[in-house]
């Protein structure tokens, strides 16, 4: 059967069981959009290409499936760049299509030409410029495979307009052809035995679990491990929601804004079991002071992460779920009550807390959201203080419950990501916790929310400022607040109304208690403008350049 | 310490940009990089000389492995191997100096590949040390231009680095 390469593209997506793509059309994408016209695949028209890629990202994080987005050549493609980098940093599987000028014009600075494969080399797992239309199905097959296996990540396919229009004999290959790509899934047996011996001998183990647990679907194994060996669990930001937030063994997040007891437990432990985490600088603080008494077991699917930042005693390259399954039978149930007593003591000495006096506190709003959703909602966030308060105060009880930009810290991620998440999880509670700064970076997607009729509940913690940067200026610039306080805000309620979205403003605990449960049961989208103090700080905090044992609280 | 890596890559457009970009982006120092296709036209081989301690080398290797187009990497530094570079040097060669220069060429088993009115081009192959010594010997005459290929290397004996061999340790 002869069809155009663009039609083949759409057929491939259908065969990959893609049911939704996020995108924005343009001249170079005419053939592809024309092919989509005849397809059952749902196309979600965003209002800016950044929205398309973040939405695909949010969809992928919420569902575990590959997110797909597309944009036209030139500015369409460059508008995707932030979102691609964002997905790359957080290991999110995406397949991104861009239109390209016709092959004969490539390299001539043609209208809306940009070398998007060149631009995205450092921020994609792999990318392709399609020159031979007949190669497109194999490329798409490879792209989905690369994006979703091993350490997931975005793959970009750049399709020149003329190539898209050429006729090919369509057939979708069943296998990938990639001799340079063979992720290791099963951990090395001897290393697993070594790890088991270390664990069985350890008196003060801590499990440090990252986003790899979520990507490999290893939450059950993690819980089993923790309970079997009586080890407390701390999550990285990306790992949040992989372990029940209300479990007695849960220490919360560690690192820069981690709980003090998590950071101290890591400092005191004799064995650190790192699972799908990468010893990021926000986690470790000063490296020399990170887990100074501990032997380190590091399980990761990406060999390049092992030994990158800290020396490792037992390296295990593999899928964390498979590794844990192999490891669990080798472990002895051990009584570690002295260690657990010590953990309890740390927890009592240094609880996570905030001052509830004077006014509505952002932390309180998060606690209320937790209370009313039982930790089961999907929470998308933006970037800033509000994001850290979600990490600290929302006790996630369901894997993939947190949709947030960790590695890149992209303001503006939240709203479009919530759009993607809600489309991936119809009928489920999706809440966006955003900041007044971040929200204004991509708030045009309110139109998408309305158009798609998505019941997203938006809580904007409005502190009239770029709170996180303000906090840094307070600590590191002696309170010289430069370019962080907003002197003008739109009337957000009127703005919401302009998009036919309901709006509320709250500024007392009383109002929060009343409005939050009401909003959560509304059938449609709602924006809640939560007026909170710009003075509030994210605490505890590890000062820059210090060890994580040097956390301060006020 | 300097390491010599033999890297087999897919002969795709852009593969050089991927590899070179990776080195600059992650702050690794390339001493030399030579690339050309192998007996299999779909596969190219790069010989990369990189400076760094064991930790850096481990990261370089692992990061290279993450590139989908990289098929195989062998660090042959510690093995027995033959390495060669080729250099072309255009040197001032007034008629009265030509005899001397030809003697030098003889010593280094270099060849004269072009003779101009006042210049000569000499071609020399050898390992780095030899090339350096050759260059030094010609300096007094005035080097007008110099171009070198970068090092290529191959394991000695019956061992080999190709996609079927296992860590370049096969057959021995
Ligand atoms: C795109 C982008 N620009 C700048 C920053 C730097 N930055 C980090 S947090 C922050 C403030 C965010 O303000 P807001 O969204 O209001 O959140 P708040 O901290 O006030 O809760 C800024 C400017 C960033 N992370 N992303
Ligand atoms: Mg703010």
Query: For helices A219-229 and A320-327, what crossing angle results, to 10°?
Result: 30
Which of A117, A178, A304 shows the shortest C-beta gap to B14? Answer: A117
Question: Does this chain's domain A2-169 share its CATH topology with A362-531?
Answer: yes
Q: What is the pLDDT of residue A552?
A: 87
Q: What is the pLDDT of residue B164?
A: 72
Q: How far apart are the first and last CA of chain A?
A: 70
Q: Out of A384, A435, A529, give the residue to mutate to test ligand 1, the one with the largest number of ligand atoms within 8 Å of its CB.
A: A384
Cβ contact B62–A304 (<8 Å): yes
Q: Which residue, A387, A371, A383, A377, is CA-closest to A425?
A: A377
Which of B21, B59, B163 shows the shortest C-beta gap to A121? Answer: B21
- Asked if B36 reaches chain A (Cβ–Cβ under 8 Å), the answer is no
For A362-531, the fitting CATH number among 3.40.630.30, 3.50.50.60, 1.10.10.410, 3.40.50.970 is 3.40.50.970
Q: What is the pLDDT of residue B165?
A: 61
- Return d(Cα A533, Cα B86) in angstroms, integer: 69
Q: What is the pLDDT of residue A394?
A: 98
Instruction: Show pLDDT as tens, one digit a residue, over chain A (554 residues).
Output: 899 999 999 999 999 999 999 999 999 999 999 999 999 999 999 999 999 999 999 999 999 999 999 999 999 999 999 999 999 999 999 999 999 999 999 999 999 999 999 999 999 999 999 999 999 999 999 999 999 999 999 999 999 999 999 999 999 999 998 999 999 999 999 999 999 999 999 999 999 999 999 999 999 999 999 999 999 999 999 999 999 999 999 999 999 999 999 999 999 999 999 999 999 999 999 999 999 999 999 999 999 999 999 999 999 999 999 999 999 999 999 999 999 999 999 999 999 999 999 899 999 999 999 999 999 999 999 999 999 999 999 999 999 999 999 999 999 999 999 999 999 999 999 999 999 999 999 999 999 999 999 999 999 999 999 999 999 999 999 999 999 999 999 999 999 999 999 999 999 999 999 999 999 999 999 999 999 999 999 999 999 999 999 988 87
Q: What is the pLDDT of residue B168?
A: 39
What are chain B's domains?
A: 2-79 (3.30.70.260), 82-152 (3.30.70.1150)
- Return d(Cα A327, Cα B149) in angstroms, integer: 50
Three-state SS at A469:
helix
Residue spans per domain, chain A: 2-169, 189-349, 362-531
Q: What is the pLDDT of residue B169?
A: 34
Q: Out of A382, A391, A438, give the residue to mutate to test ligand 1, the one with the largest number of ligand atoms within 8 Å of its CB.
A: A438
SS (H, E, C) A263-283: HHHHHHCCEEEEECCCCCHHH
CATH fold of A2-169, please? Rossmann fold (3.40.50)
- Beta pairing class for A457-462 and A430-435: parallel
| Torsion A86-A88-A94-A100 (CA) sign | positive
What are the C-alpha distances in Å from A39 to residues A25, A35, A190?
16, 7, 50
Nearest-CA distance B172 → chain A (Å): 25
- Asked if A106 reaches chain B (Cβ–Cβ under 8 Å), the answer is no
- Tokens 């900041």 belong to A435
Low-confidence ranges of chain B (pLDDT < 50): 167-172
Residues of A annotated as catalytic are: 49, 111-112, 161, 468
- Asked if B50 reaches chain A (Cβ–Cβ under 8 Å), the answer is no
- Tokens 């310490």 belong to B1
Is A467 near ligand 1, meaning CB less than 6 Å away? Answer: yes
Query: Which atom of ligand 1 lies at the shortest distance from residue A362's CA?
Result: 21
Q: Which residue, A252, A247, A257, A246, is CA-closest to A375?
A: A246
Is A409 near ligand 1, meaning CB less than 6 Å away? Answer: yes
What tokens were used for A59? Answer: 């969809």
- Return d(Cα A244, Cα A250) in angstroms, integer: 7
What tokens were used for A375? Answer: 């930790």
Q: What is the pLDDT of residue A109?
A: 96
Question: What is residue A425's DSSP assignment?
Answer: S
Q: What is the pLDDT of residue A493?
A: 98
Cβ contact B68–A146 (<8 Å): yes
- Asked if B170 reaches chain A (Cβ–Cβ under 8 Å), the answer is no
CATH superfamily label, A189-349: TPP-binding domain (3.40.50.1220)
- Percent helix, strand and coil across chain B, each rounded to 5? 30, 40, 30
């Amino acid at each position: 059967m002869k069809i155009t390469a663009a039609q083949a593209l759409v057929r491939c997506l259908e065969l990959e069981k893609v049911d939704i793509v996020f995108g924005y059309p343009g001249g170079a994408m005419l053939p592809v959009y024309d092919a989509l016209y005849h397809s059952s695949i749902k196309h979600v028209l965003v209002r800016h290409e950044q929205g398309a890629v973040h939405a695909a990202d949010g969809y992928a994080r919420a569902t575990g499936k590959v997110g797909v987005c597309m944009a036209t050549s030139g500015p369409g493609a460059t508008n995707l760049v932030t979102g691609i980098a964002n997905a790359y940093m957080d290991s999110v599987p995406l397949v991104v299509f861009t239109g390209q000028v016709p092959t004969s014009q490539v390299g001539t600075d043609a209208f809306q030409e940009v070398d998007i494969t060149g631009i995205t080399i450092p921020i994609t797992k792999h990318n392709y410029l399609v020159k031979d239309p007949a190669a497109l199905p194999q490329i798409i097959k490879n792209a989905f495979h690369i994006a979703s296996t091993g350490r997931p990540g975005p793959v970009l396919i750049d399709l020149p307009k003329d190539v898209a229009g050429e006729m090919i004999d369509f057939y979708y290959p069943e296998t990938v052809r990639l001799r340079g790509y063979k992720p290791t899934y099963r951990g090395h047996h001897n290393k697993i035995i070594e790890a088991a011996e270390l664990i069985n001998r350890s008196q003060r183990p801590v499990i440090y679990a990252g986003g790899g647990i979520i990507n490999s679907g290893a939450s059950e194994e993690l819980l089993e491990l923790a309970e079997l060996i009586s080890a407390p669990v701390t999550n990285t930001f990306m790992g949040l929601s992989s372990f029940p937030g209300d479990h007695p063994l849960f220490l919360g997040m560690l690192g820069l804004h981690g709980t003090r007891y998590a950071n101290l437990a890591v400092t005191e432990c004799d064995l650190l079991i790192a699972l799908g985490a990468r010893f990021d600088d926000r986690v470790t603080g000063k490296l020399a002071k990170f887990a100074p008494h501990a032997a380190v077991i590091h399980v990761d699917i990406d060999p390049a992460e092992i030994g990158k930042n800290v020396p490792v005693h037992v390296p295990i390259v593999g899928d964390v779920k498979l590794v844990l399954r192999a490891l669990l039978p080798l472990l002895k149930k051990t009584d570690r009550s002295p260690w657990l007593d010590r953990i309890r003591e740390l927890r009592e000495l240094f609880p996570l807390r905030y001052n509830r006096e004077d006014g509505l506190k952002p932390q309180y709003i998060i606690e209320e959201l937790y209370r009313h959703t039982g930790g089961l909602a999907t929470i998308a966030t933006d970037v800033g203080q509000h994001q850290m308060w979600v990490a600290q105060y929302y006790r996630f009880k369901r894997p993939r419950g947190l949709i947030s930009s960790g590695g890149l810290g992209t303001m503006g991620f939240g709203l479009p990501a919530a759009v993607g998440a809600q489309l991936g999880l119809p009928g489920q509670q999706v809440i966006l916790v955003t900041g007044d700064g971040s929200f204004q970076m991509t708030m045009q997607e309110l139109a998408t929310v309305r158009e798609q009729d998505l019941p997203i509940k938006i809580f904007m913690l409005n502190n009239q400022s770029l709170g996180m940067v303000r906090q840094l200026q307070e600590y590191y610039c002696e309170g010289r607040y430069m370019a962080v306080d907003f002197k003008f805000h739109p009337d957000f309620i009127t703005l919401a109304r302009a998009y036919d979205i309901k709006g509320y403003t709250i500024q007392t605990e009383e109002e929060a208690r009343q409005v939050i449960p009401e909003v959560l049961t509304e059938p449609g989208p709602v924006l809640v403008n939560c007026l909170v103090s710009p003075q509030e700080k994210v605490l505890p905090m590890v000062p820059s350049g210090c060890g994580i044992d040097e956390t301060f609280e006020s | 310490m300097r390491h010599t890596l033999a890297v087999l890559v897919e002969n795709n457009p852009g593969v050089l940009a991927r590899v070179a970009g990776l080195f600059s982006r992650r702050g690794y120092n390339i001493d030399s990089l030579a690339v050309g296709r192998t007996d299999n036209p779909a596969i190219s081989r790069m010989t990369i000389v990189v400076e760094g301690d064991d930790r850096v080398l481990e990261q370089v290797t692992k990061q290279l492995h993450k590139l989908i187009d990289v098929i195989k990497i062998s660090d042959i530094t510690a093995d027995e191997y033959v390495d060669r570079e080729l250099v072309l040097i255009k040197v001032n060669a007034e008629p009265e100096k030509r005899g001397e220069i030809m003697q030098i060429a003889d010593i280094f088993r270099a060849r004269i590949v072009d003779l101009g009115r006042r210049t000569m081009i000499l071609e020399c192959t050898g390992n780095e040390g030899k090339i350096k010594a050759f260059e030094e010997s010609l300096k007094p005459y005035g080097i007008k231009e110099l171009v070198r290929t970068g090092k290529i290397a191959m394991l000695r004996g019956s061992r080999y680095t190709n996609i079927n061999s296992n860590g370049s340790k096969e057959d021995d």
